Each structure stands twice: as C-alpha cells, then as structure tokens.
DNA sequence: GTGGTCTAGACCACC
DNA sequence: GTGGTCTAGACCACG
C-alpha cells in the first residue's frame, strides 16, 4: 500500500503523510478506518518506528486521524473535509507559481492546455503515485 | 538590488539564484552583463562569500552565467532561452499539482479563476518577490 | 448512565472515575448506593473488565466507594465530603492558572466575566459532560 | 535558566515548551532573541538533543520561534501577541473548571478570594516556576 | 498489542 | 557551528 522512496529528498515522514492524505482523498481510507499500527508500518516499510510515529503525530495534529493510545489510529470523521479546505487554501500558492510562469514567457494557452488535460475525462487514468513533487 | 531574507526557510544561496533568474527574466540583467563580484555581494547582502560562491557556481552549472576566473561572472547569451525551457519543463509538475487539486474536489472553475486572475489585467502590478514561495 | 468516549485522549478508567465523582456530586449516587457490577459495566460500556476494575480500585483508594468482595461496591458514607475537600485543594491549582493568565495580559475583568457567567443564573442548564476536560 | 524535572509526569519536551512560553511572557526572551542551540540545551539540561528538537519544532509550529537551519532559533516578532491570543482562548476552559467547582459546592466567594489574591498587588511576588500543573 | 516518550548516536545541508 | 532527519532500541501507560 504505502511506498517509500528512501532516495527521495523529501523526508520519509512527509512521504507517509502525503500518501495517507492521498489514500483519504481517493477513498482508500474512509472515516473510522483503522490505520496500520506503528510497528506494522515500521516493518512493512523498513522504516524506524520513530519516523512512523512522527508522521502519525503530524496527521493527528492536522485532525486527519485520531490516535488513541493503546488502541490505534483512526481516520477522522471530517478528514476529507479538512483536506478539501487545505487544498482550497493552496490555490493561493498556485497563483504565485502561475505568475512565475507568466514572467518566464509561458503563455496562458500553455497553462490552459495543462488544465484541460487534467480536468477533462482522461483524468481518471492518471495516478499521482507518491506524487508530491520532490522539491529538490 | 538583491534582497536576502535571513529568516526565510529557503537557503540563502537559493534566494540568490531565484532572484538572479528573476532579474534575467525581467530584463534587469541582459546577456553579457557583468554580475556584482562575490566580494561586493558578500558585503552588500551581509552573506558569507562561500554562500555567494555556491549560488554563482550553480548558476554557472545551469549555463545561466559564465564565470571567468579573474574577470567576473557574466550573463550567458542564451540565459533567457534556458530559463524559458526550464519553466516549460515545470509545466509537467503543474499537472501533478492540478491532479491533486482535482482529487481534492477543487473544480476546474476554481482553477480557471486563478489562471484568469494572473494572466489578465492586474498582472503588471504583481511582483514575485524572491520568487520561490517560502515555507519549504 | 455511564458514557465512554473511546476516541478520547483521557484514559477510559479515568472517564469512569470522573463520571462516578460527577454522579456523587449531583446526587445521582448517594451514600450506601450499590454500583453496577464490574461484569455489568464491562458489557454495557463495551470496556475490558480489567479497565473497570482499575477505576473501581482507584475510587476505593480515594475512599469514595467501599468494595466488598463477593457483594459489590458501595458509595462511601463520606464520599460527598471527600469530594468537596478535594476540590478545595484544587483551588490552589486555580491560583497557578490565574497567575499565568495575569502574566499573559488577561485582565481581572476578563476573569470576572467568566466567574459571573458560571456562578450566576444560567448555571442550572450547564452540563459538565464527562466532567474533566479532554485533551489531557 | 531552564529547569527540567525528570520525575514529572509531564513530558520533558512539554516542560521546555511551557518554560519558553513563560520566558517570553515574562520578557526574559524578547522578539529577535536567539535561543540556546539544540546542542547547548541538550548538555545543559542533560536531555537528549532529539527531545530538545521536538520542543523547538513545536514552538516553531506555533509561530513562537523561527528556526533557521544553520543559524539558530529566534523568538518571533509576534510571539507575545500569539501567546496572549492563546491564553484568551483558554478562558473558555476556565469556565468548565469553574462549573466543576460550583457543582462540588465551592462558593463564588471561595473563587473570588483566589482571583483577588492573584490579581491584586501582591501578585508581583508570585513565581509560577516551571509552574504548569502536572496533571498527574 | 497499542501509541507516546526518551536516549544514544549518526548523517545531511547550510552557513 | 547550526537545525533537520533518521536509526536502533528502550521504557511506560493503557487495554
């Protein structure tokens, strides 16, 4: 399920966070579902329990999961909603990026081609994979 | 000219690179222009010479400038062209980001509003600042 | 009667203790009353018998109940009195908290408004829920 | 400066957070001040660097400090303001506590005595110490 | 068995 | 030198 790229420059714990968010958005994880335990994920991903813990702590802080000591971690009831809100806020960052593009001579048509490509029907076939860009 | 934010999460050397690229794109730097010397930049920006050097080395590696030992660093003839190509390649990353948006329930209309906002009228007034958004 | 929030950060056994104290203070439990048996509470609350036992042991230790092997657990004669004393001792903790508030710039008026709100009219309508505020 | 109680039931990293907040509120730390480095604090408090790091990360997340890799951690410009806001929000929690008191038979006069004690002039002499109650 | 905390020691990028 | 990340292995409270 989870897939860690140890060579990536994005921290492992962020990869886990990003993929968990992805799973929630795609419906692989639904509200109330139990996440794999820290120890299980640790051995499956060959990642130190501490690193798993750090990821889950952050997800808990973002109210995407609820960690109950002694019982496990569970997807929050409003996880999907929270993610939707977060992405909406990211639209502002998109503007900054687009402005850079404009200055670099990228035309509106170029951008529109991208938008169409993603938002038309073919979209279903696209997988983002661990997909969050590596910023490196 | 250059403006460094010491408190920023983006490394100082990356800020210098980003701003240099910005200056090229905006025509402040043109092909053949001589960059300020490492020593000058160092004192003006209150930045360690090593850090300046690291930025210039990277710009040289990207063929945006040409460093001539003993004479200085100069904007390459095809600097503008290289930057355009680079940004074009970044359009692919844009698709990944847009796909995330789509999965999160952001509508095409939401994105279009952003695109229009950036590529229509108000554009001239927008400054990208140090360019790359902070926050890592 | 009892209501357990499995997702809460406060341990289940503490929830049981807190609610029992609440029931005593509110007169739902009176001196001499018999508590539900460990077995009954266990199934009703879907909680491990060990957890129930732990809560009752703690209540016994605090002299709020008296457990008679083979017969059950009963509210102590002086349970109400003990609870009053305990809360009085907590007034000292309140001072610490208030001092923090004062340092943080909260005015006496701000605090007074709270006090008035709680100790004036609307009081009868307020339910403390499981009593102790969650979140650790 | 910092004082850690290893025997306390409140996690060491929370003690560090609480004391740092205290130092800010009391003016011992002012906006722009540099915090001791992770390594320094680590040896001074005989606490693992990881634990220090965890505390500083949380303070950074709360915008009370700004951690700049390679340079250090610094008190944010609006740290005091943020703390003030946070405490204001805690007034709501105070109401819950007061309601418990009321049910337990604590009179309004008892509470008022506390409030007066803290908010009158003698206040300057009170030290909260590492003061955050141990919740244990 | 679970999550939460901590120690000890390591490597990296940045300055 | 700095902060950021990670590993390895431990202990605790809770269920």
Does residue D70 register a pLDDT over 90?
Answer: no
Average pLDDT over residues D72-77: 94
Q: Are D49 and D56 in contact (CB under 8 A)?
A: no
Judged by 3 or more CB pairs under 8 A, whether B touches A is yes
Does residue C123 register a pLDDT over 60?
Answer: no
Residue percentage of chain C with pLDDT more than 70? 88
How high is the mean pLDDT of chain A? 86
Give the model's pLDDT for residue A121. 60
What chains are in contact with D, requiring at least 3 Cβ pairs below 8 Å?
Answer: B, C
Give the model's pLDDT for residue C131. 42
Map residue D64 onto helix, strand or coil.
Answer: coil
At residue D121 the predicted structure's pLDDT band, cuts being 50, 70 and 90, is low
Average pLDDT over residues B35-48: 90
Give the model's pLDDT for residue B131. 42
Q: Which single residue is written with the structure tokens 């807190």?
A: C18
Per residue in C69-91, pLDDT (tens digit) is 888 999 999 999 999 888 888 88
CA distance C81 to B96: 65
Q: Which residues of A touch C8 (CB under 8 A)?
A: 68
CB contact under 8 A, B6 and D74: no
Of D6, D123, D30, give the one whose Cα is nearest residue D81: D30
| CA dist C99 → C93, D23, D28, D122, D133 (Å) | 10, 14, 17, 11, 12
Give the model's pLDDT for residue D122. 52
Q: Are B83 and B64 in contact (CB under 8 A)?
A: yes
Q: Which residues of C touch A66 (CB under 8 A)?
A: 7
| Cα of C108 to nearest chain A Cα, Å | 32
CA distance A97 to B18: 13
Count helices and strands (H / E) in chain D. 5, 2
Per residue in A69-85, pLDDT (tens digit) is 888 999 999 999 999 99
Give the model's pLDDT for residue D45. 92
Long-range contacts of C103-109 (CB under 8 A, 24+ apart): C103/D22, C103/D25, C103/D26, C103/D128, C104/D25, C104/D83, C104/D84, C104/D86, C104/D87, C105/D84, C105/D87, C106/D84, C106/D87, C106/D88, C106/D91, C108/D115, C108/D119
Comparing every residue's Cα with the C1' atom of nucleotide F4, the nearest one is: D69
CB contact under 8 A, C111 and D94: yes
| Cα of B71 to nearest chain D Cα, Å | 31
CB contact under 8 A, B115 and A99: no
Structural element, H or E, at residue C97: helix C79-103
Cβ-proximal residues to A113 (8 Å cutoff; 6+ apart), any chain: none
The two structure tokens encoding residue B32 = 């053949």
Residue percentage of chain B with pLDDT more than 70? 88
Give the model's pLDDT for residue A16. 94
Cβ D94 to strand F below 7 Å? no
Does residue A43 register a pLDDT over 80?
Answer: yes
Give the model's pLDDT for residue C122. 52
Of C13, B130, A127, A42, give the one whose Cα is nearest residue C2: C13
Instruction: Please state the separation of Cα A63 from the chain's center in Å.
Output: 14
Q: How many Å does it take to go from CA A51 to C1' F5?
A: 9
Q: Are D9 and D136 in contact (CB under 8 A)?
A: yes
Q: How many CB pairs under 8 A join B and D?
A: 9
CB contact under 8 A, C84 and D104: yes
Give the model's pLDDT for residue D130. 42
Sign of CA dihedral C92, C94, C97, C101: negative
Does residue D133 register a pLDDT over 80?
Answer: no
Minimum-distance nucleotide, CA of D42 to C1': E7
CA distance C31 to B3: 74
Cβ D73 to strand F below 7 Å? yes
Of B134, B12, B135, B43, give the one whose Cα is nearest residue D70: B12
Q: Which residues of C touch A69 (CB under 8 A)?
A: 9, 11
Give the model's pLDDT for residue A1. 87
CA distance A78 to C60: 40
The two structure tokens encoding residue A37 = 């335990």
| Cα of B130 to nearest chain A Cα, Å | 11
Average pLDDT over residues B49-65: 92
Does residue D106 register a pLDDT over 50?
Answer: yes
CB contact under 8 A, C115 and D111: yes
| Cα of C102 to nearest chain A Cα, Å | 28
Cβ D57 to strand F below 7 Å? yes
Count helices and strands (H / E) in chain B. 5, 2
- Sort strands A72-75 and A65-68 into parallel, antiparallel or unpaired: antiparallel
| CA dist C16 → C59, C70, C129, D104 (Å) | 10, 21, 12, 17
At residue D132 the predicted structure's pLDDT band, cuts being 50, 70 and 90, is very low
């Amino acid at each position: 399920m989870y897939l860690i790229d140890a060579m990536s420059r994005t921290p492992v714990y962020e990869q886990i966070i990003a993929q968990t968010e992805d799973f929630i958005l795609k419906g692989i994880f639904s509200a109330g579902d139990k996440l794999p335990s820290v120890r299980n994920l640790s051995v499956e991903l060959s990642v130190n329990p501490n690193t798993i813990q750090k990821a889950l702590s952050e997800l808990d802080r973002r109210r995407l999961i609820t960690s109950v000591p002694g019982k496990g971690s569970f997807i929050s009831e409003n996880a999907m909603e929270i993610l939707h809100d977060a992405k909406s806020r990211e639209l502002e960052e998109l503007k900054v990026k687009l402005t850079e593009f404009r200055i670099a001579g990228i035309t509106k048509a170029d951008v529109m081609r991208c938008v169409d490509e993603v938002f038309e029907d073919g979209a279903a076939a696209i997988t983002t994979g661990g997909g969050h860009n590596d910023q490196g």
